[in-house]
Amino acid sequence: MTQELETSASAHRDKLLTTELVPEQILPKVMTTFGLVATYVFIICWITGSSVIASGGWTAIPMWILGILTFLVPAGMAVAELGNLWPGQGGVYIWATRTMGETWGFIGGYLSWIPVILNAASSPAVVVQFLLLAFHAELGLTVSIILQLVILWAVIGLALAKLAANQRVMNTVFIIYGVLTAVIFVSGLVYAVNNGSATPFALRDVMVPDFAGAGFLYGTVLLYLLGVETPYNMGAEFLSVRKSGPKMVILGSAALVVIYLMTTVGTMLALPSDQIDPVTGVIGMLGVAAPKGVMEVAAVVLAGIIFVALVAYQIAYSRLIFVSGLERHLPRIFTHLNPRTRNPVTAVLIQGVLSSLILVGLYSQSSMANVTIFIQGGLSTVWLVSGVFFLFPVIIARKKYADRYANEQFWRIPGGSVGVWVTVIVGTIGTIGGVYYSFAKSWIKDVPDSTWMTWTGGISIGIVALGVAVYVFGRRAAHKTSSEDALAHLAVLDLTKKNETEAV
């Protein structure tokens, strides 16, 4: 009798969620290991962050290293294990639901999703600033906002194309990203050889992180290392999650570490820390360290890279809205897929609408450069909290699904229980530190901490209020339709072998 009860409980525990079952049947598997590495880098690595970090001087280097060791490594190992344990569409939503329950799954998914709204609201401004740098131009606020909206909706339009087509573009631009990184580093190095380091070098600064004078850098570093879990939102579209997932995390993390360190060092070698623009400095340094015209070309190239990265963002994050529709946290309309491209059209469009509203509302209140950083601070504060939903689930999974760990072969955190606890504790401490330095310490030299906290706190409160509204009203609306009716329209999406071949 006891054995029968245990078998029944195990069967109920392992019953597939809708999001683990439906996407596997209707979405094409097109994402190769190289494509995933490129996507991983585009989602996480924003070398504009090197401009902010470099402004802190050479103490930026130990801050980068500390952020990598206390956050990137633990987060990468945690998501690689969970992604192999549950290789389905939805990533953190599935992991949190399986280990913590449906409500916590929604919260984890929401906190992991909201960054796309804030990032899409701020990044078009970054694209505009690089284009203005390239063409040595200036724009009024109204024209700037209009141009940002045009860029945003161009991104939305491309995100609606076939994933395979976008993947080919990302793969090509990823290589260009590497070339640009090398140009920045080599230019800075040559300048320093001929003129000495523009930012005075001190061995102690490189060896010891200065939390007293530049603690804000830690929060900034963690912001630019966030997003490790995001590619797993598209788990059903991987050619092989278990084969490609760990490789993506390892190779992608190595690539972004190289990009960040090389561009940060190159910027500091060419410009004094107090002259580094917090947004465009990483390219502006080429104005003094490279031949005439290189800076302008590089600015256009980086604007294009950011544009492609925004497309990657829209694609990856739209899958969480699609999952919320499948799991009836949102109405049926959010599960709508384009029959030809298999993209969640409504999900992508609603992301564009929300980002547009935030863009217009916030950029009319302050300078473009400052608001860009304010949004990034608020984004970092909230996004870091989502780490709870892929760190602690590893501990719960090891206990709750011990039979699967005993009987299945997949990548897992080395070191057994000790390795898991060390990973979770270090990652949690890093996360708490990142939240503090993102919320309480201003990232802009001429903005006091009180003003900074007002902005980041306001943005964070707005995010929480939106989440509550989405959960209450979205779930209420979704449950007016039965689960069978909510999925009926997807039954016509019969993914034939021919369609899969064409997608690849």
Helices (H), 92-140: 92-100, 102-113, 115-135
The CA distance from 185 to 488, in Å, is 54
Report whether pLDDT(460) > 80: yes
**How many Cβ atoms from other residues are within 10 Å of residue 369's Cβ?**
16
Report whether pLDDT(1) > 60: no
pLDDT at 159: 93
Q: Which domains does the chain have, with CATH numbers?
A: 30-100+123-312+384-443 (1.20.1740.10)
Report whether pLDDT(469) > 50: yes
Report whether pLDDT(324) > 80: yes
The CA distance from 358 to 176, in Å, is 31
The residue whose two tokens read 């049947």 is 25
DSSP 88: S
Tell me the mean pLDDT in the region 80-99.
92
pLDDT band at 494 (very low <50, low <70, confident <90, very high): low
**Share of residues in the chain with pLDDT > 70 (%):** 91
The CA distance from 430 to 37, in Å, is 24
**Share of residues in the chain with pLDDT > 90 (%):** 53
pLDDT at 499: 44
pLDDT digits (tens, 9 = 90+) for 120-147: 888 898 899 999 999 999 888 889 889 9
Report whether pLDDT(500) > 80: no
Lowest mean pLDDT among 90-99, 412-421, 480-489: 480-489
Tell me the mean pLDDT in the region 77-87.
94
Tell me the mean pLDDT in the region 354-380.
75
